[in-house]
Amino acid sequence: MYLLEMMHWKSKTSEDLAPSLCTVMLDGADCPSTGQRTEAQPDDGFAIFSVSENFIDVQGAWQEDKRGLITFVFLGLMYAWQYMMLYRILIPELGILFSGIDENGFPLSMEGYIFIPLTGMVWVAFNVLFFKFLWRWIRLEIFVQRRIVVRFNRVTRQVHINRPAYAGGVVTLSWDATVPEMSGGDPGSASGDGRLMLAWPSHYSGAGFDDLCMIGGALADRGSAEELWEYIRRYMEEGPDAVPQPARLRSMFPWPWDSVRSTLSFLVPSWRTGDKGLVLTFALILSPLLLLHSICHWLSLLLCWPTRWSGIIKSAGLPGAAVPRLTVAEDFGVEVARKLRASTIKVVDEPDDPAGLHRAKSSSEFDSE
């Protein structure tokens, strides 16, 4: 689901100018540049959807595999209120109301004339409240695009992030303004907490807003995050021949076995480092819940639509094709642009840090001084 992406966008467009995730990430960070080779060997980390001479499409949602619970709740509510309440109760009672004859063949009583419309009003009120207050949370994982995809175009040297509209929509940023941050357990620990985050601070990109995207899923450790970053970096800087072909591409189609793999992914770190017999026993005990989770995970993917790119992004990098324009804050409208610019990082130059990367403040910190 896309909870993190929605929260990040809300933090940038709300009146409460708390430090954004991008501010927290860069405060005190020591980040390599896009042109700086790391010691890690490039590895795709099973995060690549497609690769070509011009671009690679990479998984851009850290919590993409964490779905299924909202689908279970949604389907349960729909069964209770749309099937049981509407089809099994309300529709037959409306037939009785219009005929004036109850199920026993007697004239409908005054209580029936009051109770049946009241039942209908309760059903209508539930649906109004549901779509008014809960629908945006339901769309964190269903009735939304199936994947968040990040396209790295080495010809135009641009990064395109395709997210739902409630998380900022599709944005185009400069590759040269990318700041990576890798975190997780020590390389080789297989702790399952590896994270690769890419940021585009406003003072680097000139977009008028800070952006942040987590690449790949939950990686094995910090070493895996460094290897994935080096894979992307070498592809962009040195070309497709500088990196190995992915051992296996992620599928954009919702295959059921991918849902099973995602459901069992939380057991992988323990399987790698712990007692395999204990892990198997634990999985067998939880097998009914794991099966239910896998089914709901798969249904959530089926209830989404494929991620789509605009024509100009699809053709970017081809001979004679137009280069997509970089996204700026004003593309989101005047009011949203004002909030985005107010939430950006402001750089504090220090004698030993002329670039200002190692000490950044959000606008709210400046306003409080």
End-to-end CA distance of the chain: 38
Question: Cα–Cα–Cα angle for 5, 8, 10, nearest 5°?
Answer: 110
Tokens matching residue 43: 């590895």
Q: What is the pLDDT of residues 232-283, one digit of tens each?
A: 999 999 999 999 999 899 999 999 999 998 888 888 877 777 778 888 888 8
Question: Do 55 and 317 meet the contact criterion of CB atoms below 8 Å apart?
Answer: yes
Burial label for 358, CB within 10 Å (0-12, 13-18, 19+), is middle
Which percentage of the chain shows pLDDT scores above 90? 56
Q: What are phi and psi of 100, to 5 degrees?
A: 80, 10
Mark out the alpha helices in the chain (DSSP H runs): 3-13, 21-26, 69-78, 91-99, 110-129, 135-138, 202-205, 222-238, 256-264, 268-273, 276-285, 287-302, 311-315, 334-342, 363-367
pLDDT of residue 275: 76
Question: Which residues have C-beta within 8 Å of that of residue 139, sequence separation ≥ 6?
Answer: 164, 166
Question: Which residues have C-beta within 8 Å of that of residue 157, sequence separation ≥ 6?
Answer: 174, 175, 176, 236
Q: What is the pLDDT of residues 297-356, one digit of tens each?
A: 999 999 999 999 999 999 999 999 999 999 999 999 999 999 999 888 655 444 444 444
pLDDT of residue 355: 42
3-state DSSP call for residue 105? coil
CB atoms near residue 320 (< 10 Å): 5
Distance CA 211, CA 213 (A): 7
Provide mean pLDDT across the span 25-42. Answer: 68
Q: What is the pLDDT of residues 79-110, one digit of tens each?
A: 998 899 888 888 888 888 888 888 778 888 88
> What is the model's pTM?
0.86
pLDDT of residue 25: 54
